[in-house]
Amino acid sequence: MLSLVLLGVALLLLLGALAPFVGGEAAARRIVYGASLAISAVLAVLAIARLLEGGPPASAVLPIGLPWLDAHFRLDELSAYFLVVVNLVAAIVSIFAFGYASHDVEPARVTPPYPVFLAGCNLVLIADDAFMFLLSWEFMSLSSWLLVMANHRQPETRRAAFVYLVMAAFGTLMLLFAFGVLAGPAGDYDFDSMREAKVKPLLASAAFVLVLLGTGSKAGLVPLHVWLPLAHPAAPSHVSALMSGVMTKVALYGMIRVLFDLLGEPAWWWGGLVLLLGAVSAVIGVLYALLQRDLKVMLAYSTVENVGIIVLGIGLALAFKASRLPDLAALALVAALLHVMNHALFKSLLFCGAGAVLVATGQRDLEKLGGLIRRMPLTALFFLVGCLALSGLPPLNGFVSEWLTFQAIFSSTAFSNELLRLGVPVAGALLALSAALAAACFIKAFGIAFLGRPRGAAAAAALEPEGAMTAALALFSFACLVLGAFPGFAILIADPVARTLLGDGLPVNVGGFLWLTPFPDGATSYSGLIVLVLVLSVPLSIVWLVQRLGVRQQRRSHLWDCGFPDPSPATQYTASSFSQPIRRVFGTVLFRARESVDMPPPGDMRPARFAVTLVDPAWDWLFQPIGRIVGYVTQRINILQFMTIRRYLSLMFTALVILLLVVVVNQ
Amino acid sequence: MPAAANHFYYDVAHLLGALVLLCSFVLIYQRRLTGIINAFTMQSLALALAAAWQAFVQDAPHLFVTAGIALLFKTVTVPVALHWIVRRLAIHETVENALGIGLSLLSGVGLVALAVLLVLPVTGSTAALTRETLAMALSILLLGLLIMIARRNAIAQVVGFMSLENGLVLAAVGVKGMPLVVEMSVAFSLLVAFILFGLFFFRIRERFDTLDLQFVESFRGERR
């Protein structure tokens, strides 16, 4: 299995290297996406088989890399689970890409880095030494940077790519330091030595903070999320789907790997801090998503929210582990892992759906869409499935993982630590708030884009996308539905991960696949299948009854005209008006939302304009101060550029003497 | 090897090494270019002697080659060429010091103390001969750097650089089993550097009518 993953990675890299030399864009597209699809599908199936089969971790050492450090690879349950997530999504997105890529602005800039990006994602998951991990991490970062840069002629794309590159470099630097701390004085960079090493508590805490910064910045954790809403909309849609669905998950893999596997016994406040960050991310992410009118920016902020939910689960698991409650830790970790899988599926579905809308209308602005349900009924149906799943509504998959997370939160009475016992329910309240806001957010997204009347000529003339794109949307929707109705499938492969990392798992299948019972006493349980049957049967029977018993006559009227028949679609409810109450409640303080109406003077024929300005607090409170400090310091030390040779030499000489003095004093 | 002879070998090696170090101090307080070049010649001569003595003591004939290189290039070719440059460019005036003579000598003493404190404890287990030589070599190296920053004249800086390199060679000959290739490459890189420096002297002089770097710096608009 491990050798096959390595072979797949090698093939993907080869594919990336050869892609620029294939004659013709269409041929390159077919070869690259076809081969990516095949490799990802095979790897996903193999990884599922590995998880079901169980067994000891496989490891391999290849004589590549630094001269004194061979490349170590290892495949255990955690790697295999994330391999499933990565490759499953990558396979379906590759199908979508068949149709979408022909609409790319510059497809030749996308085909070469695409397989390299997939190879990087896969390689991070099986790396077993710090060097290989960081190398593949950079492969992933840089190839995705190239993908973000695909449409490089637009200035906002260049800005997004720049911010992304800076944040990626920052994250890698933090991870480099973290592994430096973990490697200890002996400098053993393979993960096995790190597992063995007993790091002092203070150093372990330092490594914990560094890992949180490093993986958090890549996953899009508040306040390190600022690159995400810039980069995701700038990239081509199938790439945004992968970056949002897959790459943030690989970052979370890094977090879980270090926190649960390499770092030894956690301190209780680690879990608390991670939990807090997750809860804050969830709420800020979804609030900001709710206020957006650009479809892809909205989806990107929603990723911040979902990463927050997953990180909340991870923090809960960490806190339970530190409190020596392995069964509850397993519950929280399984919930987080399930949400990893679920978010990867429905967020990729939504990004692909946004891509389909973009192809059909050339619009990402919700205020210019509308009425698409009649022009693109299939896309609308699948997009609706994604919205429902993301909103955490049963019987779709998003509900299961959020429900399990809540079950873990409700068990917080088991904590002996007062702070955790009081704090976790607060985090739960924040999670509930974010879930409700997410539902509002996606009602808006679906309602404004697909319902009502078209707000522009492009929306009125939209056409259903090609078969490949619709097929990918259908596959994603099917996966969401299956995992929602039969969550046992996902738990079957997530449970071994918890068992190997925490030594305890879920008492699943108490009552078979029909019921999901997270506690051995059966205190709570949920059945996706029964809810699905109810959800399908009750409304259908109501419709049937109404049609049967109600008045036969049908009356057609204007859509969304608020009882005021006006031929202009501009009078419809808009995205801005939908989110206005929430903007007024939360936005004025948190996001400094300001509404301004530009009213022309009497006699002027131009229309009045309404504008909303929002400020992301992370920019104001974190990044701009940092930028100012860096600017100030560079101004101060700029003088170093214009020194005489003698002064340069004096500087070096002084540095040398000081270092020698340090050695003298230390020995 | 009898103990008395061992003592004698050690004393002579120590003496020669100290001579090289002493020449560094002589270099520091020179005010005239000819004096600087002569002091450098003396240092190189002492270095050649030290290398020859090490060759004899360690029974390593290749060190004679090193001594030969030091003698040929550093005590003959380079000083003669430098004197020629000084005559050719007609610069006999005193060199301006960036650091006063007294202060330079004091910091030199401090640097030697630093080198001794650094090397002696670190190399506790090795032979006494190597330890002392290494300490002296490090001192010479640091003093070479000090000369480079204490003088404003380009030629003086080059001489400082070469005396720094003398320290490196002294360290190399003091360590048993250092391959000849290392010394050869150091010597030749020095030669190349010297040629380049010579070229630059002429260019600087041609353009600015002086080798005093103060003028060059103010011309470039640098702050001092």
One-letter amino acid for residue A380 of the chain: A
3-state DSSP percent of chain A in helix, strand and coil, to 5: 75, 5, 25
pLDDT greater than 60 at residue B110: yes
What does the pLDDT read at residue A588? 82
Give the residue from chain B lying closest to A653, CA to CA.
B145
pLDDT band at B224 (very low <50, low <70, confident <90, very high): very low
What does the pLDDT read at residue A551? 75
pLDDT one-digit tens code per residue, A241-276: 999 999 999 999 999 999 998 888 888 889 999 999
**pLDDT (average), residues A580-603:** 85
pLDDT band at A382 (very low <50, low <70, confident <90, very high): very high
Q: Return the residue in A636, A641, A643, A644 with the most chain B beta carbons within 10 A, the one to mutate for interface testing.
A: A644
What does the pLDDT read at residue A503? 83
What does the pLDDT read at residue A118? 95
pLDDT one-digit tens code per residue, A324-350: 888 899 999 999 999 999 999 999 999
**pLDDT (average), residues B79-94:** 80
Does pTM surpass 0.90?
no
Write the residue in A650, A661, A667 that is nearest to B149 by C-beta: A650
How distant is the Cα of A643 from the closest Cα of chain B, in angstroms? 6
Q: Complex ipTM, two decimals? A: 0.82
Number of Cβ within 10 Å of residue A125's Cβ equals 28
With contact defined as beta carbons under 8 Å apart, do A183 and A130 qualify?
Answer: yes
Contacts of residue B121 in chain A, CB cutoff 8 Å?
667
Could you tell me which residue, A173 or B131, shows the higher pLDDT? A173
What does the pLDDT read at residue A512? 60
What does the pLDDT read at residue A278? 94
Which range is most confident: A374-388, A498-512, B209-223? A374-388
What does the pLDDT read at residue A14? 92
pLDDT band at B215 (very low <50, low <70, confident <90, very high): low
pLDDT one-digit tens code per residue, B45-61: 999 998 898 888 888 78
What share of chain B has pLDDT > 70, as a percent? 75
Write the residue in B117, B213, B223 that is nearest to A639 by C-beta: B223
Nearest to A491 by CA among A473, A521, A524, A515: A515
Burial string for B47-63 (b: 16+ CB within 10 Å, else e) reads: bbbbbbbbbbbbebeeb
- Residue in this structure with the two tokens 């018993």, named with its chain if needed: A549
Contacts of residue A652 in chain B, CB cutoff 8 Å?
145
Write the residue in B98, B118, B145 that is nearest to A664 by C-beta: B118
**pLDDT (average), residues A644-662:** 86
Q: What is the mean pLDDT of chain A?
A: 88
One-letter amino acid for residue A522 of the chain: G
Are residues B222 and A646, on separate chains, in Cβ contact within 8 Å? no
What does the pLDDT read at residue A413? 85
pLDDT one-digit tens code per residue, B113-167: 999 888 877 766 666 566 778 888 889 989 998 988 888 777 888 888 888 888 8
Contacts of residue B148 in chain A, CB cutoff 8 Å?
646, 649, 653
Where are any strands of DSSP class E within A328-463?
Answer: none
Alpha-carbon separation of residue A130 from A133, A144, A148, A210 (angstroms):
5, 21, 26, 14
Number of Cβ within 10 Å of residue B33's Cβ equals 24
pLDDT greater than 50 at residue A494: yes
Write the DSSP symbol of residue B136.
H
One-letter amino acid for residue A345 of the chain: L
pLDDT one-digit tens code per residue, A14-54: 999 988 888 777 888 889 999 999 999 999 999 999 998 88
Contacts of residue B146 in chain A, CB cutoff 8 Å?
653
**pLDDT (average), residues B40-44:** 92
Nearest to A646 by CA among B220, B166, B85: B220
Q: In chain B, count of helices (H) and strands (E)? A: 9, 0
Cis omega (within 30 of 0) for bond into A518: no
DSSP element (H, E) containing A595: strand A594-598
pLDDT one-digit tens code per residue, A89-126: 999 999 999 888 888 878 888 889 999 999 999 999 99
pLDDT greater than 50 at residue A477: yes
Alpha carbons within 13 angstroms on the beta-carbon side of residue A313 total 26
One-letter amino acid for residue A259 of the chain: L
Contacts of residue A645 in chain B, CB cutoff 8 Å?
157, 213, 217
Instruction: Give the integer Cα–Cα distance in Å for A559 and B168.
Output: 89
Q: 3-class DSSP state for residue A236?
A: coil
Instruction: Give the integer Cα–Cα distance in Å for B74 and B166.
Output: 9
pLDDT greater than 60 at residue A509: no
pLDDT one-digit tens code per residue, A157-166: 999 999 999 9
Instruction: Give the integer Cα–Cα distance in Å for A230 and A233.
Output: 6
What does the pLDDT read at residue B167? 87
| Segment 612-641 of chain A within 8 Å of chain B by CB | 639
How distant is the Cα of B38 from the closest Cα of chain A, in angstroms? 23
Burial of residue B36 (number of CB atoms within 10 Å: 0-12, 13-18, 19+): buried
Q: 3-class DSSP state for residue A438?
A: helix
Instruction: Give the integer Cα–Cα distance in Å for B193 and B162.
Output: 10
Write the residue in B121, B142, B213 that is nearest to A645 by C-beta: B213
Could you tell me which residue, A615 or A238, shows the higher pLDDT? A238
pLDDT band at A565 (very low <50, low <70, confident <90, very high): confident
Give the residue from chain B lying closest to A640, CA to CA.
B223
Instruction: Give the integer Cα–Cα distance in Å for A75 and A242.
Output: 22
One-letter amino acid for residue A452 of the chain: G
With contact defined as beta carbons under 8 Å apart, do A176 and A207 qualify?
Answer: no
**pLDDT (average), residues A601-612:** 85
Burial string for A473-490 (b: 16+ CB within 10 Å, else e) reads: bbbbbebbbbbbbbbbeb
pLDDT one-digit tens code per residue, B181-206: 666 666 666 766 777 777 677 777 76
A645 interfaces chain B, CB cutoff of 8 Å? yes
